């Protein structure tokens, strides 16, 4: 593990911060216009991300752009500064074999560039440990960033704090009842505490509690991905969803043995 690193902030960072502190905040596009920087969007984005360890922003989607508005300073000690080690970086890239692990596009056939990405964002408590890293293309990286940005950090941390995998999945689906969630997002939520070999089954098991979840398909790059949405919620639920699901599974297995 490499030593914690705190990035030095320069004049450009203060300028960006000043703009985002204005009422209503601004999008990166607007920041670029105001600062008149002939900089690439990514460069400015990186500078903005340098501010995350120190400041909390409210991110909302406005039209086609993501809007950032300064909320407050981040409490000290909340940010995980550990950086990705060179060894882990190389190992993640090696294991990807030139394929985006999210959409399946390849360097050879599609000319993509692979980026090392935190599966669970650092803001939500994701670490720079190997199991939280993967290699994804720039398109997926951007898409994921704006998707994740629509959930605020505090809410996400509350969802991820549930010890029961069933409960975490349900609370995540409840964040946007009736809307689709892609399987990558739900896989993160399921795997947050412990590795779930069959997290899809955990979602299906929610129906034992009268919860209805619709499963759909969508095309992401070369892959067909599943997506899920909460159609009907339950009014009362057992305290420990996972224990109750296990109990019901055992009961079903016993019943099936009898009827055979």
> Which residues bind to Zn ion, rule: CB under 5 A?
100, 102-103, 137, 140
Nearer to Zn ion, 26 or 133 (CB): 133
Nearer to Zn ion, 19 or 96 (CB): 96
Nearer to Zn ion, 59 or 105 (CB): 105
Beta strand 65-73 with 55-62 is antiparallel
Q: How far is the CB of 116 from Zn ion (least distance, A)?
A: 13
Nearer to Zn ion, 45 or 139 (CB): 139
Place of tokens 């629509």: 150
Q: Check: CB of residue 86 under 8 Å from CB of residue 74.
A: no
CA distance 174 to 188: 16
Neighbouring-strand partners of residue 225: 218
Q: How far is the CB of 136 from Zn ion (least distance, A)?
A: 5
Q: Check: CB of residue 229 under 8 Å from CB of residue 214.
A: yes
Q: How far is the CB of 124 from Zn ion (least distance, A)?
A: 21
Q: How far is the CB of 100 from Zn ion (least distance, A)?
A: 3
């Amino acid at each position: 593990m490499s030593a914690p690193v705190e990035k030095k902030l320069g004049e450009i960072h203060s300028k960006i911060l000043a703009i985002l502190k204005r009422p209503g905040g601004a999008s990166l596009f607007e920041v670029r216009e105001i600062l008149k920087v002939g900089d690439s969007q990514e460069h400015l984005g990186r500078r903005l991300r340098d501010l995350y360890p120190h400041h909390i922003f409210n991110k909302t989607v406005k039209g086609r752009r993501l809007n950032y508005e300064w909320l407050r300073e981040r409490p000290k000690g909340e940010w995980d500064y550990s950086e990705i080690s060179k060894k882990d970086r190389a190992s993640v890239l090696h294991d990807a074999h030139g394929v985006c692990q999210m959409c399946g596009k390849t360097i050879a056939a599609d000319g993509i560039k692979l980026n090392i990405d935190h599966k669970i964002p650092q803001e939500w408590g994701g670490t720079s440990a190997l199991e939280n890293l993967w290699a994804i293309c720039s398109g997926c990286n951007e898409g994921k960033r704006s998707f994740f940005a629509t959930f605020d950090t505090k809410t996400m941390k509350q969802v991820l704090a549930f010890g029961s995998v069933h409960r975490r999945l349900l609370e995540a689906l409840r964040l946007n009842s009736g809307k689709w969630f892609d399987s990558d997002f739900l896989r993160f939520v399921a795997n947050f505490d412990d590795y779930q070999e069959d997290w899809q089954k955990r979602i299906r098991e929610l129906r034992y509690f009268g919860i209805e979840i619709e499963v759909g398909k969508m095309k992401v790059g070369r892959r067909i991905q599943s997506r899920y949405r909460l159609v009907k919620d339950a009014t009362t639920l057992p305290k420990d969803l996972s224990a109750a699901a296990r109990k019901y599974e055992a009961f079903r297995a016993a019943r099936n043995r009898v009827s055979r």
